[in-house]
Amino acid sequence: MNSKNLEQLLNINKFLSTTPPPNIHSVQDYVSTINISGIFSITFDTPHETLPPLTNIDNTAEKILHLQYPHLTSAAVFSNGDCLLNSISLIFNANQMLALQFRLAMVVELMKFSNFYLSQKIFEQDYYFSDIALNSAKNSDMPTTYNKEREYISEIAYISKPHQFCSIIGLYGLASVIQRPIMSIYPPTVSQLISSLYNKLIEPRIKAYDEPIMIMWTPSSGKWNINDPLPQTDHFVPIFKRNSPPSPDQKY
């Protein structure tokens, strides 16, 4: 674990968690000197397209994945709250060692370019924010520039804690960190609203690479009911192309 990056992340969390919370201009100023590219010793031009060596298949997630995509496979990552960051690290580094760096870069991106994200119509919907962020915003009378500024800052404060599960807002930040689209795969559901919100291609703020990487939302329990109008997911896994096509008689 990089102690400098951990210290930066903890300091950011402390800053964002103050009472009253900082406004959007203070948030931008706080990270203005942090260079995202300086956080990493790797580049993002060659993600693994197939399962990296020594990586295990997540058989539980794969059964759900194959309801829609039998030609793809899912990798197992630690379910320690860092699953989204572990997934991104595995795709680019063939291991999960860069989860902390990806969390820091994601948070800095969302803070530094908050004007860009808060100007998007999609960030005006409550659905994109966690209950924690929504409840926290209710208790704040901070003057705002944007409609969901309080919720946005509360959300970033929450995901700036190590080992905290990330909302879809984290995916938007990560797409911009890696400068390529992320295909957010949500399991099939009768809820058209949920599908429209979470099963989508997420474009980066600046695109350097056209080929997307793939991340799937999944329940860690492995139980999925397509007919559930309020489906719940609590885990992310990285998705790869299969090394070989599935056999016609393969059963799940």
Report the run of H or E that residue 184 belongs to, with start and end: strand 182-185
What token pair was written down for 219?
A: 């329940």
CATH dotted code for 3-34+44-241: 3.90.70.80
Which residues lie closer than 8 Å to 252 by C-beta, 6 or more apart? 62, 63, 66
Buried b (16+ CB within 10 A) or exposed e, 153-189: bbbbbbbbbbebbbbbbbbbbbbbbbebbbbbbbbeb
DSSP helix/strand/coil, 218: strand
182-185 and 200-202 strand pairing: antiparallel
* Tally of CB atoms within 10 A around 16: 23
What ranges do the domains of the chain cover? Answer: 3-34+44-241
- Residue 112 identity: K
CA distance 222 to 97: 25
What pLDDT, on a 0 to 100 scale, did the predictor assign at position 70?
A: 95
What digits encode the pLDDT tens for the residues 191-202? 999 999 999 999
CA distance 237 to 89: 11
* Tally of CB atoms within 10 A around 5: 18
pLDDT averaged per 10 residues in sequence order, the chain, 252 residues: 90 93 94 94 96 95 96 96 97 97 98 95 85 80 84 94 94 98 97 93 98 97 92 96 68 48
What pLDDT, on a 0 to 100 scale, did the predictor assign at position 28?
A: 97
Buried b (16+ CB within 10 A) or exposed e, 76-101: bbeeebbbbbbbbbbbbbeebebbbb
What pLDDT, on a 0 to 100 scale, did the predictor assign at position 199?
A: 96
